[in-house]
Amino acid sequence: MLDKIIEDCGKIGDIEWIYFEGGEPFLYLPIMIYGIERSKKRGFKVGVVSNGYWAVTVEDAIEWLKPLRDLEINEFCLSNDEYHGLKEEVDRVRNGVIAAKKLGIKSVVLSVGKCAEKLLGQYRYETVLMYRGRAAIKLVDKAEKKPWAEFKECPYENLEDPERVHIDPLGYVHVCQGISIGNVERMSLSKIFEAYKPKKHPIIGPLIEGGPARLAESYKIKGDEFYADACHFCYDVRCKLREKFPDILAPTIMYGEGEK
């Protein structure tokens, strides 16, 4: 399947980068290495995102990263913030960054909000917290909320002309976490893109027209009065629409249930 996807990325034409990310891609090390090798051979730039759980010491981390150095990956990202763990996890990310530097691999620390003090010297990329997936369930209680009618656009994804998609282990192609535009087990990636008509898509169409507010109105979904952000509202509406659109609002694991 990996071969087929990478091959097909070449046919699509304007794909530049392939990222291997999680979950945690180092849990599938041989498969990840194979995928990187194939992607590089096809001429793609390659990035890897990890939480660095394997970087117990700098010496260990160097051994884990040597194959990535040998394959000349273009970017190596380590996730660190308070949602990815505290002292031990920070030390592991630091070990990973030091090891990458020693091997001459460009590394970036990704964090939702501020990353740990110890990592502040590193090149880092900070994003805001989006209340979708588990964050929409576990973190919303502490957030300030706004009336649902204010969320009239999707603030983060270019749904009309996506600049990136995620392909999960079950083959679903996501334009945003839990919004699938097809499955590579059933149709090739290039055909999925060819068939993509965002404005006619039953979930993406309303989101383009008027954000989560339009999506809720289109299907007469009665949600709460207030939400933490557009993603929190979007996620709640989608949870209520899952029975109607089981193949689009998938897989179940994206909605906090067992993998199916």
Per-residue contact track with ligand SF4, 195 to 214, x per CB under 6 A? ------------x----x--
Pull the structure tokens for residue 101: 């530097």
Residue 204: CB minimum distance to ligand SF4, A: 8
Q: Which is nearer to ligand SF4, 54 or 235 (CB)?
A: 235
Q: Quick one: which segment of 83-91, 105-113, 153-161, 217-225 binds ligand SF4 (CB under 6 A)? A: 153-161
Does position 174 interact with ligand SF4 (CB under 6 A)? The reply is no
Residue 186: CB minimum distance to ligand SF4, A: 23
Q: Quick one: which segment of 10-18, 48-56, 149-157, 184-192 binds ligand SF4 (CB under 6 A)? A: 149-157
Does position 176 interact with ligand SF4 (CB under 6 A)? The reply is yes
Does position 46 interact with ligand SF4 (CB under 6 A)? The reply is no
Widest distance between CA atoms in the chain: 57
Q: Which is nearer to ligand SF4, 35 or 206 (CB)?
A: 206
Residue 80: CB minimum distance to ligand SF4, A: 22
Does position 32 interact with ligand SF4 (CB under 6 A)? The reply is no
Among 84, 92, 132, 201, binds ligand SF4 (CB under 6 A): 132
Among 48, 62, 90, 154, binds ligand SF4 (CB under 6 A): 154
Concatenated DSSP letters for the chain?
A: -HHHHHHHHHHHS---EEEE-SS-GGGGHHHHHHHHHHHHHTT-EEEEEE--TT-SSHHHHHHHHHHHHHTT-SEEEEE-STTS-SHHHHHHHHHHHHHHHHHT--EEEEEESPPPGGGTTS-EEEE-----THHHHHTGGGS--EEGGG--S-SS---SS-S--EE-TT-EEEEETTEEEEETTTS-HHHHHHH--GGGSTTHHHHHHHHHHHHHHHTT----SEESSHHHHHHHHHHHHTTT-TTTS--GGGGTS---
Does position 156 interact with ligand SF4 (CB under 6 A)? The reply is yes
| Contact set with ligand SF4 (CB under 6 A) | 132, 154, 156-157, 176, 207, 212, 230-231, 234-235
